[in-house]
Amino acid sequence: MNDKRALRSRLLADRRRRAVGDGAADASRDAARRLARLLELPELPGDRTTPRAAPTGAAGAPDDAAPGAAPTVAAYASFGTEPDTFALLDALAARGTRVLLPVLLPDLDLDWARYEGRERLVSGDAGMVRPDGPTLGREAVLGCAAVVVPGLAVDERGVRLGRGGGSYDRVLERLAEQRRRGGRHVPVIVLLHEGEVLERVPAEPHDRPVDIAVTPSAVHRFPRPAEAEAEAPDVDAPADVQAPAAEAGPAGAAG
Ligand SMILES: Nc1nc2c(c(=O)[nH]1)N(C=O)[C@@H](CNc1ccc(C(=O)N[C@@H](CCC(=O)O)C(=O)O)cc1)CN2
Ligand SMILES: Nc1ncnc2c1ncn2[C@@H]1O[C@H](COP(=O)(O)OP(=O)(O)OP(=O)(O)O)[C@@H](O)[C@H]1O
């Protein structure tokens, strides 16, 4: 917990330094490289070759109303020193992908609303923006083809460090629960600056790993042994490993 706090402030300070030190040209070059890698990921749906091309034989606009017609991706609207996501949001929309953005709830859990262009974003809480349209419920994320999440760092296991509200911990847990019930696996992709893929990030029992991290220079994939187990349920996996109980410390020593 305190380990996380210390690492968070170091990473945020690095981000502020980078924003000041690097010019706008560096930032936009990095953003373009990151975006190019992202848009090539097979996990992100949409037509990569001919944006907005009408299907053969179909006249007019894509059939938005047909159930399941438009693949959906949940992402976020970047702010401050986060890797910029606006070009991603517009690129996804341009290739026919429906995009959801988070709406922060009073308990710091996340609801979702559809991204319908920058001009339809309004000020939300904590310096962020949100779509002005109706919210779709916390579970809306479960139907997405992929989820793009913010983070400050990720480690070689895919363990992600966030801002500390636990918002995305809850989203990742919701997705993991769907998977445990035999539902679809929704790949989770975190966007980072260069140097934010670390050897180790402090992990707590509630942390769920992400699948992919994208930086300007690389795509990192974090394969999960559990995925193989899910296909073959008879493997000898420990069902319910208990961590050794921590010794009650001397904190409240009897006097
Ligand atoms: N772009 C983005 N959207 C997001 C998140 C995020 O990390 N980034 N979230 C991740 O969970 C959720 C919101 N959680 C948040 C938790 C804390 C702060 C925060 O530290 N706000 C500062 C103001 C920041 C600024 O203005 O630069 C503050 O309140 O002091 C923001 C969002 C959902 N949407
Ligand atoms: N599934 C959950 N349901 C409710 N609260 C949770 C859940 N997971 C984590 N939390 C709480 O959220 C708080 C922050 O957790 P943590 O420090 O791991 O945040 P983070 O992953 O860095 O942030 P975020 O998820 O907002 O990006 C902790 O107090 C934790 O107990």
Residue 204 pLDDT > 90: yes
CA distance 145 to 100: 11
Per-residue pLDDT at 227 exceeds 80: no
Query: Which of 86, 121, 167, 172, when mutated, tests ligand 1's pocket best, judged by the most ligand atoms within 8 Å of its CB?
Result: 167
Q: What is the pLDDT of residue 69?
A: 59
Tell me, using a 6 A CB cutoff, whether residue 202 lines ligand 2. no
Rounded to 5°, the CA angle 61-65-69 comes to 80
Q: Is 204 in the pocket of ligand 2 (CB under 6 A)?
A: yes
Q: Which residues of 194-225 are buried (b: 16+ CB within 10 A; e: fewer)?
A: eebbbeebbbeeebbbbbbbbbbeeebebeee
Query: Among all ligands shown, which has an atom nearest to the Cα of 201?
Result: 2
CA 166 and chain centroid, separation: 13
Those residues whose C-beta lies under 8 Å from the C-beta of residue 9, and which sit 6 or more positions away, are: none
Q: Is the CB of 82 under 6 A from ligand 2?
A: no
Is the shortest distance between the CB of 173 and ligand 2 below 6 Å?
Answer: yes
Q: Is 71 left (phi over 0), alpha (psi -120 to 50) or beta?
A: beta
Q: Where are the beta strands (DSSP E) in 14-120?
A: 72-74, 98-104, 110-114
231 pLDDT band, cuts 50/70/90, is very low
Q: What is the pLDDT of residue 49?
A: 63
Continuous H helices in 62-211: 86-94, 167-180
Scanning the structure block, which residue is given the tokens 């990030």? Answer: 201
The predicted-structure confidence for 38-81, as pLDDT tens digits, reads as follows 999 999 988 776 444 434 333 333 444 444 558 999 999 999 99
Quick check: helix, strand or coil at residue 82?
A: coil
Instruction: Let me know: does 186 contact 175? Beta carbons within 8 Å.
Output: yes
222, 209 contact by CB (below 8 A)? yes
Which two three-digit tokens encode residue 245?
Answer: 């109980």
Q: ipTM for the complex?
A: 0.89
Q: What is d(CA 175, CA 179) in angstroms, rounded to the nearest whole number?
A: 6
CA distance 173 to 176: 5
Q: Is 177 in the pocket of ligand 2 (CB under 6 A)?
A: no
Place of tokens 């341009």: 94
Residue 128, classified by CB atoms within 10 Å of its CB into exposed (0-12), middle (13-18) or buried (19+), is middle
The ligand that comes nearest to the alpha carbon of residue 125 is: 1
Q: Does domain 2-230 have CATH number 3.40.50.10420?
A: yes
Name the residue among 83, 79, 107 with its Cα closest to residue 35.
Answer: 83
Residue 149 pLDDT exceeds 90: yes
**Ligand 2 centroid vs 210 CA: distance in angstroms?**
14
> Is the pLDDT score of 251 beyond 80?
no
Mean pLDDT, the chain, integer: 84
Q: What is the pLDDT of residue 74?
A: 98
pTM score, two decimals? 0.84
211 CB under 6 A from ligand 2? no
In the prediction, which pLDDT does 86 show? 96
